[in-house]
Amino acid sequence: MNITIIFFLGLIIALIGVIPPGLLNMTAAKVSLKEGFSRGIVFSTGVCVVVCLQTYIAAIFARYLSNHPDVIDILQRVAFVIFVLITIYFLKLAQKQPKPQIPADIKSKHSRFFQGMLLSSLNVFPIPFQAYMTITLSTVGWMTFETINIMAYVAGTAMGTFIMLYVYIFFFDKIKDKAITTQKNMNFFIGSITAMVALWTFINIIKEI
């Protein structure tokens, strides 16, 4: 598979993963509003550095799993249950009207770059998520676990994450005025995505029986 295509696959998957309002994208927007655009970009860069490391670890783990099909079969079933539960959670959340939650102001004088790295490190969900996605891409023949392909995917994931953080920084004034509606729509959107992934996983499980 062409590394350019792998790069854009990583970019698209990362974009989808960072779309829902969360600690990282909302903090990036708030830092930009209070301290300036450049500080928000520095924070986002710190986030992306850790995302690179997390995605690389996930890809290496996925490569190991690809050589142990018996383990993959078990994980597919576990992943199916997890994605069903995530789907139910987000669709239930989309029916509510939660108040927009913005992280409390962080008064640390340390560099926003390292702050971005720290907050990103606390978010460990990308590792199992990216491990599952890279295994899925490998299964359908869209990606192999050669070093150059892994690096292309990692670069795409970092770029996708940065782009979405930039979007939050740039459009936060509009987003915050419609935060409740936006969050509700995004919860429904991400629930729909996980539902499709769960269905795809279920079909693969059935085929292997």
**One digit per residue, pLDDT tens: the chain, 209 residues?**
689 999 999 999 998 878 766 678 878 888 888 888 888 899 999 999 999 999 999 999 888 877 776 666 666 677 677 777 767 776 776 566 555 444 444 444 458 899 889 988 887 778 878 888 888 888 888 888 899 999 999 999 999 999 999 988 887 756 555 544 455 665 666 667 667 767 776 776 677 66
Longest CA span, the chain: 56
Cβ-based burial of 100 (10 A; exposed 0-12, middle 13-18, buried ≥19): middle
DSSP assignments along 29-95, one per residue? HHHHHHH-HHHHHHHHHHHHHHHHHHHHHHHHHHHHHHT-HHHHHHHHHHHHHHHHHHHHHHHHHHT
| Residue reference for tokens 């990606």 | 143
Round to whole Å and give the CA distance between 152 and 158.
10
Round to whole Å and give the CA distance between 3 and 145.
11
Task: Report domain extents, the chain.
Answer: 3-208
Torsions phi, psi of 12, nearest 5?
-65, -45
| Residue reference for tokens 């792998």 | 6
**pLDDT value of position 109:** 40
**pLDDT value of position 44:** 92
Structural contact between residues 130 and 55, judged by C-beta atoms closer than 8 angstroms: yes
